[in-house]
Amino acid sequence: MSESAIRRPRGTTDYFGFDEEVLLGLERLLMEESSLYGCKRVNPPVFEESRLFHRSVGESSDIVRKETFDLLSKGDKDYTLRPEFTAGVNRLVLENKLYALPDLPVRFSYMGKVFRYERPQSGRLREFYQYGVEFLDAKIDLDTSLDALLLSIEATKKALKKDVLVLINFLGSFQSRENYKKALADFFRPHLDEMCDDCKKRFETNPLRILDCKVEKDHELGKMAPRIEDYLSAEDKKEYDAIVSVLEELGVSYRKDDGLVRGLDYYTGLVWEIYDAEKPTSALGGGGKYSSLMKDIGGPEFEGIGFSLGIERLILDMTPERKKELSLTSPLDVFLLDFERSGKAIALAQKLRKEGLSVSLPSQQKGMGGCFKMADRLKARNVVIVFEDGHIELKDMESRNQKAVTEEELITLLRR
């Protein structure tokens, strides 16, 4: 029996050609946007000690309960592929003592792959890219919170060239949240028998997350549950009102949604999700403020606020025109033909590359016609032919003019 072909694992993507160019263009745009907000890029490892995610993301979150890719133990430590960046960035700040820097908040951006063992479907992958930022400081104030929120909105709008809708909620300080959790537990307790299995577990670990449930019956029940606003302190309310009034002033289209709690356990204060304003079905990204993450992983009292956007969700939501604009159609300066293949052309190619010109060559098997068709497909600006007698001809692919040139003339003409 023949073995089956080796294929790409489910829920992953082979990026190449046009899709890779769109990805690169998007990465460049997002990094440029982050630098407008003073962010510096960080690149933590793709895998970390499993403890990091189990402690920080929260045992009750879906990510930890069923969605991590845990690596087979090879030594004395257990490792997990990162399911998100926030924990890794906080670990990086802690381990390198960046919290002790005089210049706070640290403003870090990132873009890279994350891994979640989910059931793959459109827009839900097992390996996908996230772009995002984390701002960290002893205390995250109103201005820093707004900066993070506004960056997430502007980055999404610029990436898509579309309007976005932002859903916001305010979970309050640790104490407000604990009081609210208690009130929710009291409310849901008499209904436990009717609720889905996931919610039964959430009831034990974090009743707030029941409000996230998509099961119709539980969702309806959640609508009748106590509202978070009634459990916020005066200080929390003041901060939430201030955020809202800045959004109003800037004309940001937002909607308050007090059922929004976000998947992870560690959020306190402002949380948000971003949607395409015209089809607000699945979230393009989300973020929030957190207060105890750094302490939970053994660090000092330090707060953070951050968000992440799902790159594949953004790409899925783009028009074909937008994708074309983003693809870095990095043009080829020279397509170099040498039918003798004696190495002469490579020496010339190296000279041209030293001049900063991009040069590529076809395979040996192609005839002249095939080479020119390939040059057109590659959108080469010029074709240079090295003939067997050593003379060189240059064809400008736009004007289609072709003429014999010396090597010096070639370099001068191409430099222009």
Report the interface residues with ligand AMP, using CB under 6 A. Answer: 84, 116, 118, 123-125, 128, 130, 263, 283-286, 308, 310, 312-313
In the complex, minimum distance from the CB of residue 124 to ligand AMP, in angstroms, rounded to a whole number: 4
Beta strands in 257-338 (DSSP E): 267-276, 285-290, 303-310, 332-338
In the complex, minimum distance from the CB of residue 266 to ligand AMP, in angstroms, rounded to a whole number: 12
Residue nearest to ligand AMP (CB): 310
Task: Spell 369-388 as b/e; 16+ CB within 10 A means b.
Answer: eebbebbeeeebbbbbbbee
User: 257 phi and psi, to 5 degrees?
Assistant: -140, 100
In the complex, minimum distance from the CB of residue 65 to ligand AMP, in angstroms, rounded to a whole number: 14
342: left (phi over 0), alpha (psi -120 to 50) or beta: alpha
Smaller CB separation from ligand AMP, 264 or 349:
264
CA distances 14 to 18, 20, 86, 150, 262, Å, are 11, 9, 25, 32, 29
CB-side neighbour CA atoms (13 Å) of 195: 26
Smaller CB separation from ligand AMP, 10 or 182:
10
Cα distance between residue 112 and residue 110, in whole Å: 7
Smaller CB separation from ligand AMP, 272 or 302:
272
Smaller CB separation from ligand AMP, 123 or 226:
123
Alpha helices, H only, 109-227:
142-160, 174-188, 197-205, 216-223
In the complex, minimum distance from the CB of residue 211 to ligand AMP, in angstroms, rounded to a whole number: 15
Cα distance between residue 329 and residue 367, in whole Å: 26
In the complex, minimum distance from the CB of residue 206 to ligand AMP, in angstroms, rounded to a whole number: 15
Smaller CB separation from ligand AMP, 12 or 292:
12
Smaller CB separation from ligand AMP, 125 or 149:
125
In the complex, minimum distance from the CB of residue 264 to ligand AMP, in angstroms, rounded to a whole number: 7
Please, what is the angle between helix 407-415 and helix 344-354, to 10°?
A: 40
Specify the 3-state DSSP secondary structure of 242.
helix
Q: Count of CB atoms within 10 A of residue 234's CB?
A: 6
Smaller CB separation from ligand AMP, 115 or 188:
115
In the complex, minimum distance from the CB of residue 125 to ligand AMP, in angstroms, rounded to a whole number: 4
